[in-house]
Amino acid sequence: MSKISSILKPEELTWLNLDNEIVIVDASAGSKARYDEQHLAGAIFVDVNEDLANIGDFAIGGRHPLPTFDQFSKVLQKLGITKESHVIIYDDKNGSNAAARFWWMLKSVGHEKVQVIDGGFQAAVKAGFPVTNKVEIPKSVDEYEVQNWSLPLSDINEVEKVAKNDDHIVIDVRDANRYAGLTEPIDTIAGHIPGAINIPFTENLDADGRFLEPDILNEKYTAALEKVDLNNVIVHCGSGITACHTLLAMDYAGLPIPKLYVGSWSEWSRNGKEMVLANG
């Protein structure tokens, strides 16, 4: 069986929804009210804070640390997802809210049939997929056993050790002003990790909010990372959510999925680590 594409074009949704194994998930972060008002027909809501993270002390793992395996197992069961499910995820921010994070988590526990809708909620509606405010009831399923994260992860200690090394690259996917320390809307300090380069996740998208074609993304990241082994690439953002957008883009481009530093700037900036601030 050929590998399923990580990105699903919204025009393909209609016939896919006829399959009984399809589970559509709305991962619009902080948008439960919008979900209650209107969502794609059949979609189940997943909450980035309650379902896709195990939030505690921001200095230990950042604002959105990964949940425990037991927690994630229960979330998948709650959503009606089995190992045979074809999971289709969307959000209302072109995959950057939590769709890409949920995609990464599923891929990392070995779930192959998982895709993110290109362009998200808006693109699906434009393509004619029906919407509703109906309360969706997930299928009753057995527990989904989760044992480990199989995709590569990094942590604050490794990032500190390698960020300035020529044989490693740390990518900060936040917007340029946050990277430069000119603004910080969420965390307590504005700036970036010394040695990290800035490739905003928004550069994965075209003017319509759709992912660039795989060959374009491949060329873009191959050129940016040509000086290092792709196993030595670490990607981060503010709290390990939008970083997954770039991991998704690289997978879509046919490239290996780099390491994810989940704690990201929210953890780094709270631990007295060296930082590059706007004043130098």
Q: Which of 237, 247, 250, 255 is catalytic?
A: 237
Buried b (16+ CB within 10 A) or exposed e, 201-232: beebbeeebbbbebeebbebbeeebeeeebeb
Contact between 92 and 32 under an 8 Å Cβ cutoff? The reply is no
Q: How far apart are CA 270 and CA 245, in angstroms?
A: 24
Q: Is 231 helix (H, G, I), strand (E, B) or coil?
A: helix
Strands 131-132 and 39-40: antiparallel
CA distances from 221 to 161, 169, 275 (A): 23, 12, 25
In whole angstroms, how large is the CA radius of gyration of the chain?
Answer: 18
Give the separation between CA 66 and CA 262, rounded to whole angstroms: 7
Q: How far is CA 199 from CA 175, 187, 275, in A?
A: 8, 19, 18
Strand 131-132, strand 86-90: pairing: unpaired
The C-alpha angle with vertex 264 and arms to 195 and 248, in degrees rounded to 5, equals 95
Tokens (6 digits) for 120: 């998200």
SS3 169: strand
Active site residue 237: yes
d(CA 65, CA 60): 8
Q: Which residues share a beta bridge with 22? A: 86
Positions annotated as catalytic residues are: 237
